[in-house]
Structure 1
Amino acid sequence: MNYIKIDPRDNVIVALTDLPEGTVLELEAPSQTDDRLLVVQEDVPAKHKIFMQDMLPGDEVLMYGVLVGKAICFIPKGGLMSIENTRHASQDYAYGAVDYQWQVPDVSAYQHRTFNGYHRKDGRVGTANYWLFIPTVFCENRNLDVIKEALHHTLGYTVTDKYRAFTAQLLEAYERGEALDGHMLDLPTTPDIHKNRVFKNVDGIKFLNHQGGCGGTRQDAALLSKLLAAYADHPNVAGVTVLSLGCQHLQTANLLDDLKSRNSTFDKPVLLFEQQQSKGEEQLIKEAILHTFRGLQEINQQVRQPAPLSALCVGVKCGGSDGFSGISANPAVGYASDLLVAMGAKVLLAEFPELCGAEQNLIDRCVDEATANKFIRLMREYDAQAHAVGSGFYMNPSPGNIKDGLITDAIKSTGAAKKGGTSPVVDVLDYTEPATLAGLSLVCTPGNDVEATTGKAASGATLILFTTGLGTPTGNPVCPVIKVATNTALADRMRDIIDIDTGAVIRAEKTIEQMGKEILEYCIRAASGDVIPKAMLLNQDDFIPWKRGVSL
């Protein structure tokens, strides 16, 4: 099959392969012989949409069974959807009592399955064991960089040694008077230095460099404090070093108060260093390294132990999306999400600008009116903020999205929402609010890749499944990020960042359910430390706090 019709109500199909102008497709419906034949009116690249009928200006475009756009000019049957002939549109949404019935997947095969994680005293289970450095203000970023270089390079956590070796080889060639040409790119790289870690049970030493803590507004500093407290409290974090300047808006006392407010039983080691109270930079850095080294010795005594799969908290995210995202990777991740929910685990679906068009479905799945109304309020407040500065959710798709077939935000969003599966929505969380209920929760974050993953980890995600069609190198400092490719061409081209390839779904070699089970198996292995996601191997530690301004 060289095309797919996703929902019986749709009036567009998706090209699964490149379709030259003049290609004749036989549609599944309607029944009349003449109407079943569709002639492609122009070259259509794979991933793009083709109209199944003539469209007049104002006609509704339906995909995934919902409104995703409107025609802005006449479009012939077999015409290619583009930003020139289609504009964003989505249905309005409101709460109404709906008796939503979830078809719970069979999870009997997972009844006795476990993963090996780090058990914390408050009952939560981490999938990794990190020591975390937190600056209360951007003035301390440079000190963090100095400490990072010292600890990473000496203790076996750096990934830059192979590039240092490569640069050294270039220098040697230069000094010998040799030409620096392309063949040097084939020089052998250094071995995986992760095998040479001094502390075998410490998965990493992480650093939350940021640009906040002072200046801006006091509200910005207060929100940053809650975010940093959430990271210190994260199940994957075993100990924390805090560096403060001393005079900034975000005081160390504020951070400690937020920690206790978030978790009254918090008992991890927290090391505090204030530069304006030290005898100098050298003393500050040496003392921070010394006491952190002692802390690393302590948390290295912790070992992985079996835990039920219900102890997992998995965030689902997409970035660099393409026209296959809503057909292969996102629904496959969605099936894995349903399996996790059926076993009592937590799943977090965020990116509110990328739920535009999927609102009614999510509202209908909310367990009660209060949950639905919180979602409605957060969505409308966020979109109103964007419109107030001349933007809106409809402007979310990037040039890369559009080039690969995501013409409107509603098309992008309805496909993106597939990552959350079909289970009921048990809770709606504002930014930095912790996930406390088993099941699917919606988390208010921007669609921006790093801001969204930063927010998911703050709500407690201990793994993040990140789907991509174009290739995105995003990771997170404290939460392993697993990259899921929508197509095999991407997986082959960017093997250094992709963990799972769902291209077999596009080729009809595997079903969504089969692929979803494979994704879950990878999650179990990653949660146990048996496989290391590529983002972790690359130390892809992206961290961007959201100031609650307009970010799509």
Structure 2
Amino acid sequence: MNTYLQIHPDDNVLVALQDLPTGTQIQFNGTSLELVKDVPAKHKFTLTDLQPDAPVVMYGVLVGKANSLIRQGEVITTSNIRHDTTAFHEKDGSIQWQAPDVSKWKNRTFMGYPRKDGQVGTRNYWLVIPMVFCENRNVGVIKTAFEKGLGFAPPELYNEQVSDLVDLYKSGNLEGIKNYQPVSVTETATRSSVFPNIDGIKFLIHEGGCGGTRQDAEALCALLAGYIHHSNVAGATILSLGCQHAQVSILQTALKKLNPTEDKPVLVFEQQKSGSEFNMLSTAIKETFLALVEANKIERQPAPLSKLVIGLECGGSDGFSGISANPAVGHTSDLLVALGGTSILSEFPELCGVEQELINRCNSEAASEKFIRIMRAYESQAESVGSGFYQNPSPGNIKDGLITDAIKSAGAAKKGGTSPVVDVLDYTEYATKPGLNLLCTPGNDVESTSAEVGSGANVVLFTTGLGTPTGNPISPVIKLSTNTRLAQRMPDIIDINTGPIISGEKTIAAMGEEILEFVIKTASGEVITKAEQLHQDDFIPWKRGVSL
């Protein structure tokens, strides 16, 4: 196994693939150097002396500048370099994309749920949605009733542990409590024996709908409309108080924009018109049950891979993300695009520094101009409150080698592969063009994943180097570790280990093909992801303020 790596020929830093102690001799391209400090795995060290203000180059792009003299063989840190990027401008080039060979998948299908509008789902869910936080308790009442009544409730593993501890306490056995060893049981996604063709009823609890700006309410309605319109959803039950900013009429307008035929059942119940709470909830439960009877009639059928829409996401990233999991996912995206499918790359603060490459990859002037406009507005909004994209990396990112936002971004962008950008979507806009789409979201894992699914992703590929449990209520989230150690340490959240890329056992292309095969099985319901098994249903709408 190599102990270090140069990612791009123009880079003036190398990545340590394992811990390298002070004094390690490095031989690279005819240059001999000695490490002057310990370099932890995933961190970077310099190939030459870097004078103050000298550029630091990784992935072939500017990712920072030296704050002070950095000696040859010295590890780069938040102290000796600062974030910096190359300015971007209008489209000044284009790419000649060489699509990968996809002949062995040409006639492949997945087993999906066909919808009347032509979309195909990878799951079949019913939604229950509050228009405002005032209805969250009522949604909780329906959730308890349906999950227990239909068998969708998760296992009560921890309830049993508490009961055991209570019994020990009542018997006065404090020593038994100290020595108590719970039995670990692998959770599984539960299915209903009543409605075997329904994967579950999902409840999109949120804290919005009123009290914020009208723009927040409109964005929330647009996001909820995207979920109702989604290929993985058979229909929805809506609970409204009545007086909130997020009016049902705004949701209905957003739904009609997505699907003018309005052929998906949406049941609306408004508390301020319903009299007693008991009457409203009882009626909502009865009508929802009747709708589930119809939704259960939808069965999986063969569908072309072009009906897949993959979200490309990362969270808890590390210094290996940009050289293992992210480029592997990027190759999967290229394969799907070549097959006529759709992929969505989001997290705009994590595209900082690679804007010009993406601008030049846009296949239209309109798309490139929209990307420039959104990126500049987002950065300006962050700066107006004393922040900026440079503050995006988390303490965990920095600790594991992502020293500047530009380093993080250059690696994160690898999830988008190499294909042309066919469209640029603002937050809540739905993906309608096959190919690679750019979607404006924050870098926040859950806000971004929630948005990708709201824009149509029916499977999400989520890379992580530190371990992030993020899931989604309606789309399966496939978790990919960037390194083998993480996959071994947190097997209950990791679906695919891309660590063999780091060890040299597998190529990026081979891993990308394996990921596509896993996606097909997941989309067909043959594989239930770890996030689904854990009932990890994360959903956070983005208030269009500053979130990085």
Distance in 2 of aligned mates of 1:548 and 1:405: 30
1:315 aligns with 2:311: yes
Report how far residue 190 of structure 1 moved. 7.7
Aligned 8 A contact 1:166 1:189 in 2: no
Distance in 1 of aligned mates of 2:299 and 2:165: 42
Distance in 1 of aligned mates of 2:191 and 2:363: 47
1:300 aligns with 2:296: yes
1:182–1:530 distance in 2 versus 1, CA, 3 Å = farther
Report how far residue 188 of structure 1 moved. 4.8
SS class of match (1:483): strand
Paired letter, 2:221: S
Aligned 8 A contact 2:165 2:177 in 1: no
Paired letter, 1:3: Y
Distance in 1 of aligned mates of 2:146 and 2:216: 31
Aligned 8 A contact 1:133 1:208 in 2: yes
Report how far residue 154 of structure 1 moved. 2.6
Q: In the alignment, which residue of structure 2 is the partner of 1:17?
A: 18
1:252 aligns with 2:253: no
Aligned 8 A contact 2:187 2:533 in 1: no
Between stretches 499-508 and 259-268, larger displacement belongs to: 259-268
SS class of match (2:323): coil
SS class of match (2:22): coil
Q: 2:44 aligns with which of 49, 52, 56?
A: 49
Q: In the alignment, which residue of structure 2 is the partner of 1:381?
A: 377
Q: In the alignment, which residue of structure 2 is the partner of 1:390?
A: 386
Q: In the alignment, which residue of structure 1 is the partner of 2:8?
A: 7
Q: In the alignment, which residue of structure 2 is the partner of 1:482?
A: 478
Report how far residue 187 of structure 1 moved. 2.2
Q: In the alignment, which residue of structure 2 is the partner of 1:170?
A: 165
Q: Give a deviation string over 1:67-106, Cα, whole Å, max 9, x none.
A: 0000000111000110000000110111234241112100
Between stretches 345-354 and 162-171, larger displacement belongs to: 162-171
Distance in 2 of aligned mates of 1:477 and 1:23: 48
Aligned 8 A contact 1:157 1:197 in 2: no
Q: 1:451 aligns with which of 426, 447, 451?
A: 447
Q: Give a deviation string over 1:131-184, Cα, whole Å, max 9, x none.
A: 001111110001111211221123222224112222222222222222254543
Distance in 2 of aligned mates of 1:109 and 1:383: 43
Aligned 8 A contact 1:93 1:359 in 2: yes
Distance in 1 of aligned mates of 2:3 and 2:325: 18
Q: Give a deviation string over 1:317-348, Cα, whole Å, max 9, x none.
A: 00000000001000000000000000000000
Q: In the alignment, which residue of structure 2 is the partner of 1:184?
A: 180
Gaps of at least 5 residues in structure 2 are none
Q: In the alignment, which residue of structure 2 is the partner of 1:68?
A: 63
Aligned 8 A contact 2:66 2:80 in 1: yes
1:116 aligns with 2:111: yes
Aligned 8 A contact 1:165 1:190 in 2: no
Paired letter, 1:22: G
**What is the number of residues matched between the two proteins?**
546
Q: In the alignment, which residue of structure 1 is the partner of 2:494?
A: 498
Aligned 8 A contact 2:91 2:368 in 1: no
Report how far residue 246 of structure 1 moved. 1.2
Q: 1:127 aligns with which of 122, 127, 142?
A: 122
Report how far residue 279 of structure 1 moved. 2.9
Distance in 2 of aligned mates of 1:539 and 1:193: 7
1:386–1:17 distance in 2 versus 1, CA, 3 Å = same
Q: 1:86 aligns with which of 81, 85, 91?
A: 81
Q: In the alignment, which residue of structure 2 is the partner of 1:528?
A: 524
Q: 1:40 aligns with which of 21, 31, 35?
A: 35
Aligned 8 A contact 2:152 2:191 in 1: no
Q: In the alignment, which residue of structure 2 is the partner of 1:435?
A: 431
Distance in 1 of aligned mates of 2:497 and 2:350: 23
1:364–1:182 distance in 2 versus 1, CA, 3 Å = farther
1:195–1:455 distance in 2 versus 1, CA, 3 Å = closer
Q: CA RMSD in A?
A: 1.3
1:419 aligns with 2:403: no
Paired letter, 1:67: L
Distance in 2 of aligned mates of 1:457 and 1:144: 21
- How high is the TM-score relative to the length of structure 2? 0.97
SS class of match (2:142): helix
Q: In the alignment, which residue of structure 2 is the partner of 1:403?
A: 399
Distance in 1 of aligned mates of 2:34 and 2:340: 49
Distance in 1 of aligned mates of 2:284 and 2:166: 35
Distance in 1 of aligned mates of 2:405 and 2:327: 18
Report how far residue 536 of structure 1 moved. 1.1
SS class of match (1:376): helix
SS class of match (1:69): strand
1:547 aligns with 2:543: yes
Between stretches 234-243 and 160-169, larger displacement belongs to: 160-169
Q: 1:95 aligns with which of 81, 90, 98?
A: 90
Report how far residue 191 of structure 1 moved. 6.7
Q: Give a deviation string over 1:516-546, Cα, whole Å, max 9, x none.
A: 0011011000000000011111111111111
Between stretches 427-436 and 537-546, larger displacement belongs to: 537-546
Q: Give a deviation string over 1:213-242, Cα, whole Å, max 9, x none.
A: 111122211111111111111110001000
Aligned 8 A contact 2:161 2:182 in 1: no
Aligned 8 A contact 1:161 1:190 in 2: no
Distance in 2 of aligned mates of 1:273 and 1:368: 44
SS class of match (1:194): coil
SS class of match (1:186): coil
Between stretches 493-502 and 290-299, larger displacement belongs to: 290-299
1:316–1:42 distance in 2 versus 1, CA, 3 Å = same
Paired letter, 1:222: E
Between stretches 210-219 and 523-532, larger displacement belongs to: 210-219
Distance in 2 of aligned mates of 1:41 and 1:197: 64
Aligned 8 A contact 1:353 1:396 in 2: yes
SS class of match (2:181): helix
Aligned 8 A contact 1:130 1:478 in 2: yes
Q: In the alignment, which residue of structure 2 is the partner of 1:344?
A: 340
Distance in 2 of aligned mates of 1:449 and 1:242: 26
Distance in 1 of aligned mates of 2:117 and 2:178: 54
- How high is the TM-score relative to the length of structure 1? 0.97
1:229 aligns with 2:225: yes
Gaps of at least 5 residues in structure 1 are none
Aligned 8 A contact 1:158 1:193 in 2: no
Paired letter, 2:47: M
1:242 aligns with 2:243: no
Q: In the alignment, which residue of structure 2 is the partner of 1:274?
A: 270
Q: Give a deviation string over 1:467-510, Cα, whole Å, max 9, x none.
A: 00001111111211110100111111111111100000000000
Over the matched positions of the two proteins, sequence identity in percent amounts to: 60
Paired letter, 1:531: V
